[in-house]
Structure 1
Amino acid sequence: MRKLATEKRSRGHRKHMQDQEGASMTGLIVHEWIERRGGSENVLEAIAAAYPDAPVLTPWSNAPERLTGHDVRQSILARTPVRRSKPLAALVLPLAWRTMVPTGTQYEWVIASSHLFSHHVRVPGRDGPAPKFVYVHSPARYIWNPDLDARGANLLARTASSVLKPLDRRRAQEARRIAANSAFVRDRIKSTWGRDSTVIHPPVDVDRVRRLAAAPEQLGDAERSALEQIPEVFLLGASRFVSYKQLDRAIEVGEAADLPVVLAGGGPEEIALRARAAEATVPVYFVLEPTDAMLASLYARAAALVFLAIEDFGIMPVEAMATGTPVLARRLGGTAETVIDGRTGIFIEDESATGIRASVNRLLTLDRAPVASHADRFSTAMFESRLKAWVQEGLTDGALS
């Protein structure tokens, strides 16, 4: 009886220790850095919601209001000038990610949300490095694709890329699995890193956009007044005011179609866009730094969203479609996957004034109900389901993919 009791206590002790080890072993989520606004940050929040017990590690956060209630850990870089210089960060982070995770902690897995170097992270596990799952918004554009990002065109960036490219490719081989946010990015992952990947489109909170669009009471007085000044029929261009977003093309489209244009956003190109608007043959209205409620209202009221940037995915077109608003886009980048030509939007094939006018006229005849239902394919719930299945399959079969 004593021996039996001892064996029971021994088994109980081993189980307790295993339970304790299981409690200390969990996943880790890493992200480049956290800003107040950004598509990659929206994805990060969805990943964190899918794995609420996994801490989030980031070099620094400029948005303490994001991920409230979640365990967000910042590195020592948060207390250095690196956080204020993206070029300096690009030089420092490849090494920093290798040493950012304390060696005394073990994790069962790590998900790296990557658009620069977070996939370089080295995370200790029980029997060596923890399995690494990389969700790729894009291989670093200004290293691999300076044609898509002017930041990679200067001499310093070109010099650094000659060193960083082979390192980036080598560390990408460490990933157990890689997911791309679009087929457009999947192709770039193949050509830059030589790895296959699974397409998991980013989450778009289509239900929230619809709720905001249907709740004008959430608008402030100034926002209501601004809406009253905007004509009933208009084309919308919305994004950060930076050159590659091509918001000047939204004005060009408005001129070709003889329709007023609203530009919503903010950024360094505001002065240039205002100068272009002053010369335009149609009225151009600016809505600076719109709240989420204001942006949703603009989506819902617009005749169409003009989105001609070449994006890796492009969340805004899906948000606009969620309110039933069709999209004028190019058959390039993420919009080639999210917009259905002739059903949820129109692809510009002829970029002459006559061709643009014809495309807009077709756009204005589309039924808005199918446009709205199509957006549900990119919902947050769909993203979470696919992400969890992708990670679980990778942990189960252990095969690289």
Structure 2
Amino acid sequence: MSGLIVHDWLEERGGAEVVVDAMLDAFPGAELFALWDDAGERFSARTTVHQSWLAGTPLRRHKAAALPFMPMVWRGVRVEDAPDWMLVSSNAFAHQARLRTHRGIPKYVYTHSPARYVWDPALDQRSTSRIVQAVRPAFRAMDRAAVDRSASFAANSEFVRERMLRAWNVQSRVIHPPVPVESIQRIGVWAESLSEPDRTRLDALPADFLLGVSRFVPYKRLDAVLEIGAAEGLPVVIAGAGPDEARLRALAADLGVSADFVIAPSTPLLRALYQRALALLFLSVEDFGIVPVEAMAAGAAVIVNCIGGAAETVEDGVSGAHVTPDDRSQIREVLDRLTRSDVGVRAAQRARSFGHGNFVQQMHDWVGASDTAGRGSGSCG
């Protein structure tokens, strides 16, 4: 084994899984360890995937119920062969991972965020679980105490780096996660690459519209996108899927806004939506925010919350704009300015800083010195 990549749990879709894919691209000789693997053959077709004993229990379907058992798994990760190094992708408690044997190897922790439902409950709907509320004080103390201070840490944004400092009292570098900028910019006009059903769906939408893209959950602030569309007299397209769909549809009807819901769009259709929209409104507080970078890569005007990781990727007044979501006069001014300017070229240029290749190179620079077998060539205003 060259190296071991550790991740909390593996799912078929998710931004954290995109990071794991890119880590495997950087270090193709590495193997994987996760609490459980629900990603089908996405990772197992590429490398050996080791799962914990939790994978054989019903707890894999109930993350909140599994919380009390996770620390004991991370205190003694079992793999047969000794890795040269361990690279941890942590969005909950994987940063605590220690090998039961083969101790003393270099350890690198790439942090999507300290567990939000423990450290920032207002930003995570899972915080409403009674189990999570009951264990939160104990888990904060345990999580801080379990930080491996011999490890090297990286955060996926400056926003998360500051949260790590507050929660864990550790210093870290910032390595932004990979966004498929290269594949987005490989095709100039995505509307010309759609399947017939997707072309029909796109043609049925208004000529001009504001766009909201995310999972349909309350903290993503898609309700604010609908409210802005209603206030400005502009049609709205909401793309994604999730449990908040019925509430959002009812809100659109109450507001009287012209709203189209594009449920679970294909990748080409989503990229065509970015290019057709007057602007993407991304108003949630995010650790990083992949969607705004994808939209910039496609040449879209992007408006983001002035708080959070998305404000680091979108340059205010250059490749997009930062706003306070509830400041309607500010948003009106920004919409007017952006829709009259040629921001697309600057946005596309800015997005290239966050491409897949850049992430792989930064992984090499950070971890690569320990990897001899798998190294590749290469504010609110």
TM-score, structure 1 as length reference: 0.87
**What is the distance in 2 between the residues matched to 1:241 and 1:389?**
37
Residue 51 of structure 1 is matched in structure 2 by: 27
Counterpart selection for 2:161 from 171, 175, 186: 186
Give me the identity figure in percent.
42
Residue 363 of structure 1 is matched in structure 2 by: 338
CA gap of 1:211–1:65, structure 2 versus 1, over 3 A, is: farther
1:237-269 superposed Cα distances (whole Å, 9 cap, x missing partner): 001001111111111121222211100000000
Contact 2:224 2:325 in 1 (8 A): no
* Aligned residue runs from structure 1 range 170-181, under 5 A: 170-181=145-156
Letter in 2 for 1:57: F
Residue 66 of structure 2 is matched in structure 1 by: 89
Contact 2:75 2:100 in 1 (8 A): no
Q: Which one scores higher on RCO, CA 8 angstroms, separation ≥ 6?
A: 2
Aligned-residue offset at 1:65: 4.0
Residue 8 of structure 2 is matched in structure 1 by: 32
- Note if 1:241 corresponds to 2:220: no
TM-score, structure 2 as length reference: 0.91
1:271-322 superposed Cα distances (whole Å, 9 cap, x missing partner): 0011011123331000001111111111111111100000000000000000
1:61-84 superposed Cα distances (whole Å, 9 cap, x missing partner): 222242332332333322211110
Residue 379 of structure 2 is matched in structure 1 by: none
Aligned-residue offset at 1:349: 4.3
Residue 56 of structure 2 is matched in structure 1 by: 79
**What is the distance in 2 between the residues matched to 1:165 and 1:350?**
30
State the SS of the aligned residue for 1:123: coil
1:113-144 superposed Cα distances (whole Å, 9 cap, x missing partner): 00111112112575x33221100000000011
Tell me the matched-pair count.
370
State the SS of the aligned residue for 1:190: helix
CA gap of 1:384–1:256, structure 2 versus 1, over 3 A, is: same
Q: Which runs of 5+ in 2 are unaligned?
A: 373-381
**What is the distance in 2 between the residues matched to 1:120 and 1:352?**
41
Counterpart selection for 1:119 from 95, 98, 106: 95
Aligned-residue offset at 1:352: 3.9
* Aligned residue runs from structure 1 range 267-286, under 5 A: 267-286=242-261
CA gap of 1:39–1:350, structure 2 versus 1, over 3 A, is: closer
Q: Pairwise CA RMSD of aligned residues?
A: 2.0
**What is the distance in 2 between the residues matched to 1:284 and 1:60?**
39
CA gap of 1:384–1:71, structure 2 versus 1, over 3 A, is: same
Most deviating of 387-396 and 107-116: 387-396
State the SS of the aligned residue for 1:172: coil
Q: Which has the larger radius of gyration?
A: 1
**What is the distance in 2 between the residues matched to 1:63 and 1:154?**
25
